[in-house]
Structure 1
Amino acid sequence: MTFNVTDLRSHFPSLATGVAHFDAPGGTQTPRAVGEAIARTLTGPLSNLGGEGIRSEVNAEDAIAAFRAAYSDLLGVPEDGIVYGRSATQLNYDFSRTLAKKWQPGDEVVVSRLDHDANVRPWVQAAEAVGAEVRWIDFDPATAEVTWESVEAAIGPRTRLVAITAASNLLGTKPPVRAIADAAHAVGALVHVDAVHYAAHNLVDVPALGADLLVCSPYKFLGPHCAVLTASPQLLETLTPDKLVPSSDAVPERFEFGTLPFEILAGATAAVDFLAQIAPGDALSRRERLRASFHALEEHEMRLRKRLEEGLAGFGDAVVVHSRAADRTPTMFLTLRGRRTWDAYEFLATKDVLAPAGSFYAYEAYHRLNLDDPDGLRLGLAPYVDDDDVSRFLAGLAAFLAS
């Protein structure tokens, strides 16, 4: 199944600026339908939740229900296992503190040097607060692959939780999440998967990944700024967060603090519906339409990634690509020999090409690479990136290297 990228781009008002966007791992551009859903819900009528059936109250309830249904379909989980959050960082902090109530000195928590710091520091700090020990899953900087020896060394009888990314936001590496989850479950540990980067490029299947808890962020796949956590309702029932006394104790509401932003929920729902309409084929269910669309998107993005890789190879040893894992997303992290990537970022911006430089909150991964350049250039593809964008980036980088 293929799709027409020119038609797709027409749904994104921001692309009229002419900027070639390679900044998708930090947040994608947003289609018109998502903005319209936000505006439509916000202008209502809209009220806080109530029990009298007034239209404005019903609209709020409908926004919540539609949100849970949409992310149930996107992630392949029950609707009552969907928790709204302001960000993945916020959700990880909330759940790390809640889970840590059951940890004690001598317990072990496993984190990964491949991860965004949002899936590292909350767990490390929660472990430290209760006297639990922290163990590390490592990766090989030469290959950007997780080393299985470090997995075996990190997970043991005292492991209570393993936090692992489904795809590195810096390098694109997809570690063997299911194998890691199986090793964790064999010793009775929970597995928390950060799918923030992964969900932008692959249809998430929570049971297939073996995740007990999983987070993703709609603004990485065409939606508004918010996040989603999913876990089985049975697991959520065992967790007791700190919350206000009058607030609901029902699952999943007990983990959603304060009044929800109903308009953001509507925008996040619209993003799922937009994805499902990209290349749906003859599928009837939204889940199957999403599967077909993600398949088409993956083919499109991987073809463009190959073009980028071939183009970068043409620069010889002037460009060092650190994204080398066999299985990875269409995200590439590179440095330039003898040149600062921050200078390249600024130069490309003058050509209306946005390819950001930095370490992108992947604190452990960046330091594990032991780079001389204080920054690196990250190229991230999205559904709306086309061949002209790729050509403009390669031409812009060539001009920078020649300057």
Structure 2
Amino acid sequence: MPYDVGALRAQIPALRSGFALFDGPGGTQTPARVASAIADALTGPLSIRGRLTPGEKNAEGFVQGFRRAMADLVGGDPSGVVFGRSATQLTYDFADALAKDWAPGDEVVVSRLDHDANIRPWLQAAERAGALVRWADFDPVTGELPAEAVGGLLTERTRLVAVTAASNLIGTVPDLPEISRLVRQHSRALLHVDGVHYAAHAFVDVARLGADLFVCSPYKFLGPHHGVLTASPELLERLRPDKLLPSTDVVPERFERGTLPYELLAGTTAAIDVLAELATVTTGGRRDRLRSAFAAIEQHEGALRERLEAGLAELPGVTVRSRAAERTPTLLLTFDHREAADAYPFLVDRGVHAPAGSFYALEASRHLGLGDTGGLRVGLSPYNDESDVDRLLEGLAAFLRS
């Protein structure tokens, strides 16, 4: 069966606002079923996890269901799925845990392509440990981050390489399997991958990507606001985070401080089920259906991106900063003699939400020569359609005439 964007849109109450929404990279809109799963979790019997009362059993079911659903989404092990308040919080937590084993003279590699959440925690942890930080630069003209730009920085003292799976600012998708191959040549180095933007647009296979640690955020793919980290249980067993004495030392729970928000876990499971139902096949398990669904999503978003790029090419004075050969359907735009910050409210007045800024990708924005200002980010999501793209192009044309 073909991809049915209309059926998906019908599940998302926020789209009734009439806005054409291109702010998906900052957070997607929520299907009604996800909200219902959250409400049902909160209003049904709910207690601290256990095995006796209905509330205890429900809580345990939400946790285990969440771990299985996330493992299906990324191709990981349910026992390696860690809940976090956000991807930023998880990265800070794991930077602290990993840095306990770093020594002066050890090395950390970060990329200027990344969101600051995959840069600053590592820089700060390295500074405390006396480790050296090495920077991998992307090409500001093409937007590419070549694997050799990372590989050329690796030494026997490298302990951690932090690279994005997809830039949240310009959409670039680096060749992570090749980067991972280069990292593997250094036995003590780990690869930490920021998959927050990538997981919203592509079928994730952490083994193929070669990620030792992979973080993502369900609110980027139709779910509630929190973060998730996945790793092998064996790797997690080696790490000793600070924790309360009475709290469990079992993996992955030893990394999840305090009582889990069971309702958010239920919502994330529901969001992954909604994604799986976008599959164009009806056979196989959830992981198989997610593979089919993301193939359909990529085709749908790719066609919209082509329509958008063709329209932008007809507009004078627009520069598209998203140019990498492999990239998500996310475009950063700047304008000759006009400020992107002015285009943002202009479009809002016309029912189009495409925000402006650097979106915490400060190093990338500066490397592009855009300072901390950035540009106008247009992010396509699975629920966008051709009419949304046409409204955006009409709004941009009007802005350029104004």
TM-score (structure 1 length as normaliser): 0.98
Q: CA contact under 8 A between 1:340 and 1:373: conserved in structure 2?
A: no
Alignment partner of 2:331: what SS? strand
Q: CA contact under 8 A between 1:335 and 1:373: conserved in structure 2?
A: no
1:170-215 per-position Cα deviation (integer Å, ceiling 9, x unaligned): 0100011111111111112100001000000001000000011000
Aligned to 1:174: 173
| Residues 1:292 and 2:292 are matched in the alignment | yes
Deviation at 1:142, TM superposition (A): 0.4
| Residues 1:353 and 2:352 are matched in the alignment | yes
Aligned to 1:213: 213
Taking the TM superposition and a 5 Å limit, the aligned residue runs for 1:155-304 are 155-188=154-187, 189-304=189-304
1:345-401 per-position Cα deviation (integer Å, ceiling 9, x unaligned): 010000010000000000110000012793300000001100000000000000010
Q: CA contact under 8 A between 2:2 and 2:280: conserved in structure 1?
A: no
Taking the TM superposition and a 5 Å limit, the aligned residue runs for 1:97-176 are 97-176=96-175
Deviation at 1:150, TM superposition (A): 2.6
Taking the TM superposition and a 5 Å limit, the aligned residue runs for 1:342-381 are 342-371=341-370, 374-381=373-380
Alignment partner of 2:182: what SS? helix
Where structure 1 has 5 or more consecutive residues not aligned to the other structure, the ranges are none
1:106-150 per-position Cα deviation (integer Å, ceiling 9, x unaligned): 000000000000000001100000100000111010000014453
Alignment partner of 1:365: what SS? helix
Alignment partner of 2:229: what SS? strand
Q: CA contact under 8 A between 1:48 and 1:60: conserved in structure 2?
A: yes
Q: CA contact under 8 A between 2:365 and 2:371: conserved in structure 1?
A: no
1:48-94 per-position Cα deviation (integer Å, ceiling 9, x unaligned): 1235x100010000000100010111011111010011100000000
Q: 1:45 to 1:99 in 2, by over 3 A?
A: same
Amino acid at match of 1:202: A
Q: CA contact under 8 A between 1:111 and 1:137: conserved in structure 2?
A: yes
Alignment partner of 2:152: what SS? helix
Identity of aligned residues (%): 60
Q: 1:61 to 1:345 in 2, by over 3 A?
A: same
Aligned to 2:24: 24
Report the Cα distance in structure 2 between the residues aligned to 1:178 and 1:381, rounded to whole angstroms: 25
Between the two proteins, the alignment pairs up a number of residues equal to 401
Q: CA contact under 8 A between 1:28 and 1:382: conserved in structure 2?
A: yes
Report the Cα distance in structure 2 between the residues aligned to 1:77 and 1:121, rounded to whole angstroms: 26
Aligned to 2:43: 43
Report the Cα distance in structure 1 between the residues aligned to 2:146 and 2:15, rounded to whole angstroms: 40
| Residues 1:314 and 2:314 are matched in the alignment | yes
1:5-58 per-position Cα deviation (integer Å, ceiling 9, x unaligned): 11210000000010100000000000000000000001111011235x100010
Moved more, 41-50 or 192-201: 41-50
Deviation at 1:3, TM superposition (A): 1.2
Report the Cα distance in structure 2 between the residues aligned to 1:213 and 1:314, rounded to whole angstroms: 42
Report the Cα distance in structure 1 between the residues aligned to 2:55 and 2:260, rounded to whole angstroms: 14
Q: CA contact under 8 A between 2:26 and 2:220: conserved in structure 1?
A: yes
Aligned to 2:79: 80
Report the Cα distance in structure 2 between the residues aligned to 1:112 and 1:374, rounded to whole angstroms: 19
Alignment partner of 1:299: what SS? helix
Deviation at 1:154, TM superposition (A): 1.5
Q: 1:191 to 1:336 in 2, by over 3 A?
A: same
1:316-367 per-position Cα deviation (integer Å, ceiling 9, x unaligned): 3x00000000000000001001001111001000001000000000011000
Report the Cα distance in structure 2 between the residues aligned to 1:35 and 1:398, rounded to whole angstroms: 37
Where structure 2 has 5 or more consecutive residues not aligned to the other structure, the ranges are none
Aligned to 1:391: 390
Amino acid at match of 1:362: A
Alignment partner of 1:154: what SS? coil
Alignment partner of 1:250: what SS? coil
Aligned to 1:12: 12
Deviation at 1:284, TM superposition (A): 1.9
Q: CA contact under 8 A between 1:108 and 1:133: conserved in structure 2?
A: yes
TM-score (structure 2 length as normaliser): 0.98
Amino acid at match of 1:160: R
Report the Cα distance in structure 2 between the residues aligned to 1:99 and 1:125, rounded to whole angstroms: 12
Amino acid at match of 1:265: L
Amino acid at match of 2:321: H
